Amino acid sequence: MLKCFAFGAVLISLMTLTGCSKLEPVTPEAPAGPVYGDVGAALEFSVVTQDPQDLPVCYQLRWGDGQSSDWSAPLPSGTTTTVEHAWSSPGIYEVTAWARNTEGRASQVSPVHSVSIGRELGYPNSVIATIRVEGDPTDIAVLPAGDYLYVANEVVNHVTVVSLNDQSVVGRVTCGTAPWFVVATPDGQRVYVSNHEDSTISVIRTSDNTVEATVPVRGHPCRPGIVPGGSLCYVPCQTANVVSVIRARDNSVVATVPVGHDPREAACLPNGRFVYVANCASATLSVISTETNSVVGTVALPFGAHRVYCNPNGEYVYASEYYGNRVAVVRVSDNTVVAGFEPGTDPCSMVCLPSGDYLYTGNIGSGDVSIVRTSDNTVVGRVTCGDANWSVAAPASGRFVAACSRYSHAVYIIGRGGRP
361 found inside a domain: yes
Same domain, 222 and 284: yes
* Domain identity same for 36 and 183: no
Q: Are 246 and 281 members of one domain?
A: yes
- Give the residue among 391, 303, 401 at the shortest CA–CA distance from 358: 401
What does the DSSP 8-state code read for residue 270?
A: T
Residues 109 and 221 occupy one common structural domain: no
Q: Would you say residue 119 has pLDDT above 70? A: no
Domain count for the chain, please give it.
2
Final residue belonging to a domain, choices 104, 121, 138: 121
- Same-domain status, 91 and 130: no
Question: Is the domain of 252 the same as that of 144?
Answer: yes
d(CA 172, CA 358): 32
Compute CA distances 131 → 127, 175, 265, whole Å: 11, 22, 26
At residue 145's C-alpha, the angle toward residues 139 and 150, to 5°, is 25
15 and 135 fall within a common domain: no
Question: Cα 345 to chain center, whole Å?
Answer: 24
pLDDT of residue 16: 39
The answer as to whether 2 is a domain residue is: no
Q: What is the pLDDT of residues 93-110, one digit of tens each?
A: 889 999 999 999 999 999
The mean predicted confidence, pLDDT, of the chain is 91
- Domain range spanning residue 49? 9-121
Query: What is the Cα–Cα distance from 369 to 98, expressed in whole angstroms?
Result: 43
On whether residue 270 sits in a domain, the answer given is: yes
User: pLDDT (tens digit, 9 = 90+) per residue, 314-343?
Assistant: 999 999 999 999 999 999 999 999 999 999
Residue 420 within any structural domain of the chain: no
Non-local (6+) Cβ contacts of 301 within 8 A are: 283, 284, 285, 319, 328, 337
Helix (H) or strand (E) holding 275: strand 274-279
175 and 96 belong to one structural domain: no
Question: 308 with 397, same domain?
Answer: yes
Residue 163 sits in the same domain as residue 35: no
The three-state secondary structure class of 18 is helix
| Residue 86 three-state SS | coil
Coil vs helix vs strand at 67: coil
pLDDT score at 374: 94
Band the pLDDT of 420: cuts 50, 70, 90. very low
Predicted local distance difference test score (pLDDT) of residue 393? 97
Residue 1 lies in a domain: no
Per-residue pLDDT tens for 180-236?
A: 999 999 999 999 999 999 999 999 999 999 999 999 999 999 999 999 999 999 999
Give the end of a domain, one of 121, 148, 179.
Answer: 121
Provide the CATH number for the domain around residue 104: 2.60.40.10
- What is this structure's pTM? 0.73
Q: Which residues contact 165 (CB under 8 A, 6 or more apart)?
A: 147
Do 246 and 271 fall within a single domain?
Answer: yes
pLDDT (0 to 100) of residue 399: 84
CATH code at 130? 2.130.10.10
Average pLDDT over residues 394-420: 84
**Does residue 100 lie in a domain region?**
yes
3 within a domain of the structure (yes/no) = no
pLDDT value of residue 118: 64
Closest to 266 measured CA to CA, from 301, 236, 228, 221: 236
- For residue 217, the model assigns a pLDDT of 98
Asked if 249 and 337 sit in the same domain, the reply is yes
The pLDDT value given to residue 22: 79
Q: What confidence tier does 389 reach under pLDDT thresholds 50, 70, 90?
A: very high
User: Where does residue 104 fall: left (phi above 0), alpha (psi -120 to 50 degrees), or beta otherwise?
Assistant: left
Q: Which band of pLDDT confidence, cut at 50, 70 and 90, is reported for residue 417?
A: low
Looking at the DSSP bridge assignments, the partners of residue 204 are: 191, 211
- Note the pLDDT of residue 416: 76
Task: Calculate the dihedral angle through the C-alpha atoms of 174, 175, 177, 178, rounding to the nearest 10 degrees.
Answer: -90
- Residue 145 inside a domain? The answer is yes
pLDDT at 7: 37
Residue that finishes a domain, picked among 101, 121, 141: 121
- Least reliable range by pLDDT among 1-10, 246-255, 312-321: 1-10
Distance of CA 154 to the CA centre of its chain: 26
How many C-beta neighbours within 10 Å does residue 117 have?
27
Band (290; pLDDT cuts 50, 70, 90): very high
Q: How far is CA 182 from CA 71, 190, 196, 395, in A?
A: 52, 10, 11, 14
Whether 287 contacts 278, CB under 8 Å:
no
Q: Which of the two residues, 168 and 114, has the higher pLDDT score?
A: 168
pLDDT at 40: 79
Identify the helix (H) or strand (E) that includes residue 328.
strand 327-331
